[in-house]
Each structure stands twice: as structure tokens, then as C-alpha cells.
Amino acid sequence: MAKKKFVVGCFDDEAVLFPAVKKVRTAGYKIHDVYTPFAVHGLDHALGIRETSLHTAGFIYGITGTTTALSGISWILAKDWPLNFGGKPHFALPAWIPITFELTVLFSAVGMVLTFCYLCQIAPFVKKHHFHPRATDDLFVMVIECTDKTNVDDLRSFLHSNGAVETDVQVAETGWWLGRYDKDEMPFETKQAVVA
């Protein structure tokens, strides 16, 4: 991954954040992401992020689980090693439904967790850059990606005029790298440059 230059604007109110997002997008800036302390309804829509395909993946995993269970059990109990259980037919579909259901849930649950980790690029020992530690506490942090043409000072004053309480400029790694937080520096120990 590459290092990129970002302008970070911090907001302390949801109600200020929404119009700011709208204005920043209308002005033509590219918003890298907005980090919030809690899930904000409608923010994804305001940011113009496309709907996640995680559920489609989940459906495919589920179908795979169903198929695995049904084909596995039917091959074992009806073809490979038929046994007589209480006089039931070898192909005893109702008895297999609970296991089929469980494998469906297992496949889709595990698959979706792994896919989610992949999409968000999170895993044990994987580190990502934190733009502002207070994004996990009480600040709504909007991160705007700079291009060659971006005038940083203009952008910062633009953010301030739209209600940002703090802004700063960071050059940060956009991807992930391996590391351990208990061995490396803690993100909340880093002093952030605060420009009022």
C-alpha cells in the first residue's frame, strides 16, 4: 500500500457532520472515510457508499452449508453405509433437517465473519492507521484524501467554516501492516496536532 496525504476534520456533533459531509462532497473533495464513536444512521447513504455485498456472500455460504450437509448425510446414510434406525427409510429427510439447518448457520456465520474481517482488513496482529484516537470516544472524524491539486489551507478553513472543531494534516499509510499494539506505540499516546 501507499502512503497518502490526508486532511482530517473533527466534528463534535452529528447534526453538524451531516451538512458538512454534503458540502464537502458537493465541493468535489474525495472523502476517504468518516470515523464515528457509534453507528450513525444514514451516514453511509450521505457518504454515497454502495451497499455492502456481505449479505450476498452470507447467502452463498449458507447455500454451501445446506448442500454440504444434505449431500454428505445422504451419501453416508443412504449409499455408503446404510443403517436401519428404528425402521425409518434410509433416505430419512426430516431427521436431517436440524443438521442441515445447523451447517447452514455455521457456514454462513463463520464465512461472514471471515469475509467481514477481510473487507475491513482486520485480523489479529494486523494494524491500521488511526486518524484520531477520539474517534472511539466523542469525535466524528472526517478524513479527506488529498490530490496534487488540493489546497490544504483552503480545505482546512473550508472545514472550519462548516463546523469542524479541529483539523490537521496527516501523511498516513492507507493499507494494513503486521504488528502488535502492546509492543508498538499506543495510538492514544501519540499527541495529535491540534489546530483550533
Q: Do 10 and 140 touch, CB atoms closer than 8 A? A: yes
Question: Is residue 42 a contact residue for other proteins (CB under 8 A)?
Answer: yes
Q: Is there binding between residue 91 and other proteins (CB under 8 A)? A: no
Which residue number, 87 or 124, has a Cβ lying nearer to other proteins? 87
Total residues at the site for other proteins (CB under 8 A)? 12
Cα distance between residue 18 and residue 188, in whole Å:
26
- Closer residue to other proteins, CB minimum distance, 116 or 176: 116
Candidates 71-79, 86-94, 169-177, 184-192 — which segment interacts with other proteins by CB under 8 A?
A: 86-94
Assess contact for 58 and 108: CB atoms under 8 A.
yes
Find out whether 25 and 31 touch, Cβ atoms under 8 Å. Answer: yes
For residues 116 and 125, give the distance between their C-alpha atoms in angstroms, rounded to a whole number: 16
Residue with Cβ nearer other proteins (27 or 63): 63
| Segment near other proteins (CB under 8 A); pick from 95-103, 119-127, 135-143, 173-181 | 95-103
Q: Residues 194, 170, 131, 36: is their CA dihedral positive or negative?
A: positive
16: nearest Cα among 1, 36, 32:
36
Instruction: Answer yes or no whether residue 97 interacts with other proteins by CB under 8 A.
Output: yes
Which one, 22 or 55, has the nearer CB to other proteins? Answer: 55
Check binding of 86 to other proteins (CB under 8 A). Answer: yes
Helices (H) and strands (E) in the chain, counts: 5, 6
**What does the chain come to in residues?**
196
Tell me how far apart the alpha carbons of residues 39 and 37 are, in angstroms, rounded to a whole number.
Answer: 7
Site stretch for other proteins (CB under 8 A), options 13-21, 73-81, 90-98, 179-187: 90-98
Q: Which of 16, 95, 109, 112 binds other proteins (CB under 8 A)?
A: 95
Where on the chain is the footprint of other proteins (CB under 8 A)? 41-42, 51, 55, 59, 86-88, 94-95, 97-98
